[in-house]
Amino acid sequence: MRWSQTFIPTLKESPAEAEIISHKLLLRAGLVRKLTGGLYTFLPLGLRALKKVEAIVREEMDRAGALEVFMPALQPPAIWAKSGRLETAKDVLFHVKDRARKEWVLGPTHEEVITTLVADEFNSYRQFPVNFYQIQTKFRDEIRPRFGLMRAKEFIMKDAYSFDADDESANASYRRMYDAYARIFARCGLRAIPVQADTGVMGGAHSHEFMVPAETGENEVVYCESGDYAANIEKATSQGPATATPADDCGNSEKFETPGVKTIDDLAKRFDVAAERQIKTLVYVADDKPVIVLLRGDDQLEEAKLGAALGAAALRAAGDVEIVKALGAQPGSLGAVGVDGISVYADEVLRGGSGMVTGANDDGYHLRNVNIERDIAVGDWADLRQVQAGELCVETCQPLKIRRAIEVGHVFKLGTKYSEALGATFLDENGKSVPSIMGCYGIGVTRTLQAVIEQCHDESGVIWPTSVAPYQVCITALDVEPESEVMKLANLLYDELRAKGLDVILDDRPSRPGVKFKDSELAGFPLRIGIGERSLAKGNVEIKPRVGEMILCSPDEALGQALEWFDANRVEA
């Protein structure tokens, strides 16, 4: 491609709308343009990189034995009603109406569609295992679309769905996808770490997310330096802290006045009750019913763990009015002593705690000498707290660390939730009708592309790994007169490099050298071959890797040098 013949609108400044570096570079390097919040147009350069990521994904899915299909994005709500997600996924579902005013939904994911297909077409154990995948546009009504392609309303996902006749085979399907994902991200030049993930309401089954460490990531990963443990904070556990220590002497609970105390901290400072001696009381609404959640005062609730413990489809913190209605007091004086008629979920750390302090459900009062098991009707105990950095790993006994990361992929053993709901049953070896065991596997293709930029850049621009670079070589001609020696050599190298299978762009714009070099760096092409009148007169061509030292060579050596560099900088799985 000749630069003058394509459209690469580079920008000197970052548009104000972009908050994170990869979003800024997507715009500055002329890869995408925003239509409106959460909707982007891929420009020629961005599309080339996207197609390269897609090709890697496709090759690895094919290699893993998955079969490519293409499903409708427009879907009948009836199948969503069958799975229950018309209600449970209602927040992300886009609805559209046709001319007859009939409702349709735009697919945020495709379990319902693929399971309907398998229900119709697969009826004997002999037909399994099977894994279908597609690369397709998804629609999600995100509350907060942001960071460019990272969280968009419309984005490209690779989604795969495995169906197996027995559990062992389902685990093997899961493993195949897990391994394929590791290869895909490595081939994209991305460092993506598999971490244990929350399995949510479905429980039991296993799940991993592939996370790209990045300060701007929206997830938190708890990990152990040894590399033997990594989990999404929504799922992570630790050894500590120990359970609440019982007090030496714990008489009956008694009420005391705590005027103006609103927080754990207030009580700690003004009444000398350490946070770990306090019981934190939260009120949530799960599927329209209030529940009380108890944690040690110095702990934070992990909502995903509460959601899993409750098995609730919809979960939210109660508002002040709901709280007063449930407990008769304002936040600051809440407690669970003597409460009945509302389910109480307590964090495991509180087990055996006595001599604790909690709100009295009377504004401006607390209770001391509380013995949890004696005074509170705890319905369920569960791990509900968020792990804190420095606590010890359950597997390695080493201190845990926490860092932010971008979720680029997700593998999930689903079990039979969808196959049961949508009737994807088959006859097993004994002629018995049983549901197939499913797994689902997603890669955010557009998010992955941006994650590459988030991980691979410097102050001058993108640094594309050679595997996903829109062009691998940029030939920068500094004299663009068609018959000049410079252009003759540039054209020759262009043809030769392309004949060797490389993607080449020839910068034939009549711009100043500085502008051309800057644009090439901003766009992140892995190798630049600079050809100028003066250096050529001295018999020199400049080969400049995007990162690394300039190589000076003669025109005859240029092709060999470039090929050698690519050999040494191949991105392997």
User: With left for phi above 0 and alpha for psi between -120 and 50, is residue 271 left, alpha or beta?
Assistant: alpha
525 interface partner picked from ligand ATP, Mg ion, none, CB below 5 to 8 A per type: none
In the bound complex, what is the minimum distance in angstroms from residue 57's beta carbon to Mg ion?
A: 16
- Whichever of 54 and 209 has its CB closer to Mg ion, that residue is 209
Alpha-carbon distance 292 to 340, whole Å? 10
174 binds ligand ATP (CB under 6 A): no
- Whichever of 111 and 375 has its CB closer to Mg ion, that residue is 111
444 binds ligand ATP (CB under 6 A): yes
- Whichever of 20 and 408 has its CB closer to ligand ATP, that residue is 408
Alpha-carbon distance 356 to 354, whole Å? 5
Which of 446, 437, 440 is CA-nearest to residue 412? 440
521 binds ligand ATP (CB under 6 A): no
- Whichever of 220 and 507 has its CB closer to ligand ATP, that residue is 220
146 binds ligand ATP (CB under 6 A): no
- Whichever of 304 and 505 has its CB closer to ligand ATP, that residue is 304
Which residue of this chain has its Cβ atom nearest to Mg ion in the complex? 410
> Identity (one letter) of the amino acid at 496?
E
Query: What separation in angstroms does the CA of 338 have from each of 251, 295, 344, 359, 377?
Result: 16, 17, 11, 11, 7
Which run of H or of E encompasses 292?
strand 289-296
In the bound complex, what is the minimum distance in angstroms from residue 458's beta carbon to ligand ATP?
A: 25
Which run of H or of E encompasses 170?
helix 167-187
Q: Which span sits near ligand ATP by CB under 6 A: 126-134, 319-327, 428-436, 440-448? A: 440-448
332 interface partner picked from Mg ion, ligand ATP, none, CB below 5 to 8 A per type: none
In the bound complex, what is the minimum distance in angstroms from residue 157's beta carbon to ligand ATP?
A: 5
Alpha-carbon distance 157 to 137, whole Å? 6
- Whichever of 219 and 253 has its CB closer to ligand ATP, that residue is 219
223 interface partner picked from Mg ion, ligand ATP, none, CB below 5 to 8 A per type: none
Which of 160, 190, 199, 163 is CA-nearest to residue 177? 160
Which of 520, 256, 193, 503 is CA-nearest to residue 531? 520
Q: Which span sits near ligand ATP by CB under 6 A: 70-78, 277-285, 443-451, 541-549? A: 443-451
In the bound complex, what is the minimum distance in angstroms from residue 443's beta carbon to ligand ATP?
A: 6
140 binds ligand ATP (CB under 6 A): yes
Task: For 566, list phi and psi in degrees, rounded to 5.
Answer: -65, -35
Alpha-carbon distance 157 to 154, whole Å? 10
447 interface partner picked from ligand ATP, Mg ion, none, CB below 5 to 8 A per type: ligand ATP
Q: Which span sits near Mg ion by CB under 5 A: 117-125, 364-372, 403-411, 482-490? A: 403-411
Peptide bond between residue 399 and the one before it cis (omega within 30 degrees of 0): no
Alpha-carbon distance 142 to 150, whole Å? 11
Q: Which span sits near ligand ATP by CB under 6 A: 290-298, 444-452, 461-469, 479-487? A: 444-452
Residues 6 or more apart from 567 whose CB is under 8 A from it? none
Kindly tell me the number of DSSP H helices and DSSP E strands found in the chain: 16, 31
Q: Which of 410, 413, 447, 544 binds Mg ion (CB under 5 A)?
A: 410
- Whichever of 305 and 410 has its CB closer to Mg ion, that residue is 410
109 interface partner picked from Mg ion, ligand ATP, none, CB below 5 to 8 A per type: ligand ATP
Peptide bond between residue 241 and the one before it cis (omega within 30 degrees of 0): yes
Size of the site for ligand ATP (CB under 6 A): 15
Q: Residue 561 in contact with residue 504, Cβ under 8 Å?
A: no
Count Cβ atoms within 10 A of the Cβ of residue 251 and give its class: 0-12 exposed, 13-18 middle, 19 or more buried. exposed
353 to 392: interface string for ligand ATP, x by CB under 6 A: ----------------------------------------
DSSP labels for 443-499? EEHHHHHHHHHHHSEETTEE---TTT-S-SEEEEES---TTSHHHHHHHHHHHHHHH
Q: Which span sits near ligand ATP by CB under 6 A: 10-18, 151-159, 274-282, 562-570? A: 151-159
- Whichever of 355 and 409 has its CB closer to ligand ATP, that residue is 409
- Whichever of 85 and 528 has its CB closer to ligand ATP, that residue is 85
109 binds ligand ATP (CB under 6 A): yes
In the bound complex, what is the minimum distance in angstroms from residue 93's beta carbon to ligand ATP?
A: 13
Q: Which span sits near ligand ATP by CB under 6 A: 95-103, 152-160, 228-236, 470-478? A: 152-160
Which residue of this chain has its Cβ atom nearest to ligand ATP in the complex? 444
Residues 6 or more apart from 431 whose CB is under 8 A from it? none
Joined tokens for residue 42: 């891929």
389 to 428: interface string for ligand ATP, x by CB under 6 A: ------------------xxxx------------------
Count Cβ atoms within 10 A of the Cβ of residue 218 and give its class: 0-12 exposed, 13-18 middle, 19 or more buried. middle
151 interface partner picked from Mg ion, ligand ATP, none, CB below 5 to 8 A per type: ligand ATP
- Whichever of 132 and 155 has its CB closer to ligand ATP, that residue is 155
For residue 176, how many other CB atoms are within 10 A of its CB? 22
Q: Is the dihedral of CA 127, 131, 135, 137 positive or negative?
A: positive
- Whichever of 176 and 366 has its CB closer to ligand ATP, that residue is 176
In the bound complex, what is the minimum distance in angstroms from residue 82's beta carbon to Mg ion?
A: 22
Binding site for Mg ion (CB under 5 A): 410
Binding site for ligand ATP (CB under 6 A): 109, 140, 142, 151-152, 155, 157, 407-410, 442, 444, 446-447
